[in-house]
């Protein structure tokens, strides 16, 4: 039988305690907008360097109070006629990267980026449908950024941008969903808080798979990131900005560091449009997992 000396156990416990205390004491700095978007002329990183864009995470378990078992669209060609037996529990992950295609354009100040985000909802616990992926959303975009140096209401406005955004789920009829947008963005920060204000305009689509998508997902987004010592909080809210039949969503995230590159990640969502297939479906979800890269 394997035996361990008491002194060795004490030493291991002491080392673990010291390491845990260092993590607890550690304050994770908020990434500046200038760093994230390479705005500082003196520290330009060059083109075609791949970096994280939106958060990268895996939620090993995500629970929904109302799985969308029979997605429908206001366009009848894109409505299902039979239910699918989806579980309330599934896995979710998000991958997101960006790279700069050209720098110091637009009066020598702007940069052109390509971004790509993919979100997957995986019925990994559902053997009845062979653990299939319920929904995959693909979101490529071209982003033109321009640095600013303005002050307003205690915030430093650091960047304006405009992007050409396409989002689709790559499915056949009747599950196919897609749309195109021009997204405007204003990025600002204070000591511990970063805000991105992002209204958008939907572009016309001859094959309109989701006619009322802006009524549900909304006409804009606000992203707020807040750091409090070792804790990170961020929220993403969308809204239709209409007084009648107002719709939208709120996603709230909490992160706690395990080490320099890994965080425990809890996520809450309420509203419409957690995925494209769910654009007009209301649900509340809770997810728990880990994240590798954040705002």
What CATH number does the domain containing 99 carry? 2.40.230.10
Quick one: average pLDDT of 214-240? 97
CB of 213 closer than 8 Å to CB of 241: no
Does residue 22 fall inside a structural domain? no
- 294 pLDDT band, cuts 50/70/90, is confident
Lowest mean pLDDT among 8-22, 40-54, 87-101, 247-261: 8-22
Residue 36 has which token pair?
A: 């994230």
Q: Percentage of the chain surpassing pLDDT 70?
A: 90
Quick one: average pLDDT of 9-27? 45
Quick one: average pLDDT of 224-250? 95
Half-sphere exposure of 41 (CA within 13 A, CB side): 8
Task: Select the more confidently predicted residue: 173 or 13.
Answer: 173
Does residue 118 fall inside a structural domain? yes
C-alpha 33/C-alpha 145 separation (Å) is 11
Does residue 255 fall inside a structural domain? yes
Does residue 48 fall inside a structural domain? yes
pLDDT over 50 (residue 138): yes
CA-to-CA dists, residue 7 to 17, 21, 86, 99, angstroms = 15, 21, 53, 52
Q: Is 163 designated active site?
A: no
Query: Which of 255, 290, 248, 289 shows the shortest CA–CA distance to 269?
Result: 248
- The single-letter DSSP state of residue 2 is -
Residue of 32, 96, 168, 293 with catalytic role: 168
Q: Is 168 designated active site?
A: yes
Number of domains in the chain: 1
Residue of 81, 166, 240, 265 with catalytic role: 166
CA-to-CA dists, residue 12 to 17, 23, 129, 243, angstroms = 9, 17, 46, 61
pLDDT over 70 (residue 1): no
pLDDT at 2: 38
Lowest mean pLDDT among 32-36, 41-45, 231-235: 41-45
- 43 pLDDT band, cuts 50/70/90, is confident
Does residue 269 fall inside a structural domain? yes
Does residue 243 fall inside a structural domain? yes
Query: Which of 136, 125, 158 shows the shortest CA–CA distance to 40?
Result: 158
C-alpha 113/C-alpha 98 separation (Å) is 7
pLDDT at 28: 58
Determine the structural domain holding residue 204 and report its residue range.
31-293
pLDDT at 264: 98
Does residue 46 fall inside a structural domain? yes
Does residue 2 fall inside a structural domain? no
Q: Report the chain's mean pLDDT, rounded to a whole number.
A: 91
């Amino acid at each position: 039988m394997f035996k361990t000396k008491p002194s060795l156990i004490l030493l291991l416990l002491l080392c673990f305690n010291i390491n845990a205390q260092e993590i607890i004491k550690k304050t994770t700095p908020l990434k500046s907008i200038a760093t994230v978007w390479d705005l500082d002329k003196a520290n330009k990183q060059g083109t075609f360097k791949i970096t994280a864009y939106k958060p990268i995470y895996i939620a090993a378990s995500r629970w929904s109070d109302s799985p969308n078992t029979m997605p429908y669209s206001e366009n009848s060609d894109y409505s299902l006629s039979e239910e699918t037996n989806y579980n309330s529990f599934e896995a979710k992950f998000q991958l997101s990267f960006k790279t700069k295609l050209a720098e110091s354009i637009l009066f020598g100040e702007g940069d052109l980026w390509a971004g790509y985000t993919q979100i997957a909802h995986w019925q990994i616990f559902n053997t009845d449908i062979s653990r299939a992926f319920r929904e995959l959303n693909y979101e490529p975009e071209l982003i033109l950024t321009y640095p600013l140096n303005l002050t307003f209401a205690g915030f430093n406005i650091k960047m304006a941008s405009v992007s050409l955004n396409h989002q689709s789920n790559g499915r056949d009829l009747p599950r196919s969903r897609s749309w195109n947008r021009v997204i405007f963005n204003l990025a600002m920060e204070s000591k511990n808080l970063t805000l991105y204000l992002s209204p958008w305009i939907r572009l016309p689509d001859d094959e309109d798979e989701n006619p009322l998508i802006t009524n549900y997902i909304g006409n804009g987004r606000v992203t707020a990131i807040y750091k409090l010592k070792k804790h990170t909080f961020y929220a993403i809210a969308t809204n239709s900005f209409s007084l009648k039949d107002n719709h939208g969503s709120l996603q709230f995230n909490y992160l706690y560091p395990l080490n320099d590159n890994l965080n425990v990640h809890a996520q809450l969502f309420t509203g419409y449009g957690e995925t494209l297939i769910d654009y007009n479906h209301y649900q509340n979800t809770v997810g728990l997992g880990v994240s590798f890269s954040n705002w």
